[in-house]
A and B are shown apart, each in its own frame.
Chain A
Amino acid sequence: MNVRLYLLQRATAAIMAPLVLAHLVLIYYATSRGLSAADILGRTRGSLVWGAFYALFVLCAAVHGAIGVRAVVGEWTPLRGRALDVAMWAVGLLLAVLGLRAVAAVVL
């Protein structure tokens, strides 16, 4: 962990705080109404707002999660140095790619 990674991790955390709150409210709403796929996709398809919201969420989560996992792996496993950075990028890219694909799936 250094100042650059720290700043990225805390900044994405701060950005995500309200996003997570909104997401939780959404989950409660969708669960209590027992929404079906058609209900959900009917609201998200073609929506710029939902697309932007979740794209931002996904990218922040990818950065935050990758740096977080790097910290844990660097402390709880023997991985160090370059291998650690590779692991971090792998986690970040995995989350970003799968996440943006999911956003595209529900918005496009």
Chain B
Amino acid sequence: MADTIEVSLWRGRGDGRYQTFTVPRRESQTVLDVVTWVQRNADPTLAYRFACRVGMCGSCAMTVNGRPRWTCRTHVARVVEDGRLRIGPLANLPVIKDLACDMTAFFEKWQAARGVFAPSATRAEPMARISPASPERRAADAAIECINCAVCYAACDSVRWNEAYLGPAALNRAWTLVNDVRDAANRERLAAVAGDGGCHACHTHQSCRELCPAALNPTASIAALKRRTVRAYIWGEL
């Protein structure tokens, strides 16, 4: 193992440039370790995000050698190419500074897709009894572990090409709520994902599924939404 790696980090806003640092190579080093080393030892003006360091929060997502990844869970050994690393902020989102992107649009689309639970009961009523084995709950559980890291959003070319497209994460969440039998807003939700920029704008490239660090499958969720919205449309429910 060589002593050092050449790390190029994006500096500035959308019209910035890459700046290269020489970073000591260590065993079991993650990409987040590398970025942190630069900020603490080489250039304290470097801006980046992280929180948990252990793959639970999704804050540290960045573009590493062309792919969006959780940097805390990406070992340098797995991604370094010829002793080099190229790290930038997530794609498809405006850059605030350096490696930190503006997540506003991502969360606005989450709202626009009605990725929010709408209660149908109050605290005065007894709790809903939902079997974990029911088909709806199984469908929801398969997609529920999303931590909004935006890796899928950054990977998606339909997002890149279509500014109206709500994106894989928002649609995936909408699908889990469509399967939540307690939810009261399904009519509005289906309408939200059936318009321009809705689930039908997905071209099944499946980059989201391939790159999701939580091993989720937004492609399947979106396909299911396509079927559900078509059915609703044919039955005049949309």
Contacts and interface: CB of A to CB of B under 8 A. Distances in A.
B162, B194, B200, B229 pick with most chain A CB within 10 angstroms: B200
Interface of B: 158, 161-162, 194-196, 198, 200-201, 226, 229-230, 233-234, 238
Contacts, number: 31
Interface of A: 1-7, 71, 74-76
* Pairs of residues from A and B, 5 with the lowest C-beta to C-beta distance, nearest first: A75-B161, A6-B200, A3-B194, A1-B200, A1-B201
Contact of B162 (A3, A5, A7, A74): A74
B161 A3 contact: no
A3 B238 contact: yes
A7 B162 CA distance: 20
A71 B158 CA distance: 11
A74 B233 CA distance: 23
Contacts of B233: 3-4, 7
A1 B229 contact: no
A4 B195 CA distance: 9
A71 B203 CA distance: 10
B147 to A, nearest CB: 28
A59 B158 CA distance: 28
Contacts of B195: 2-3
Given A75-B162, A76-B161, A3 B230 contact: yes
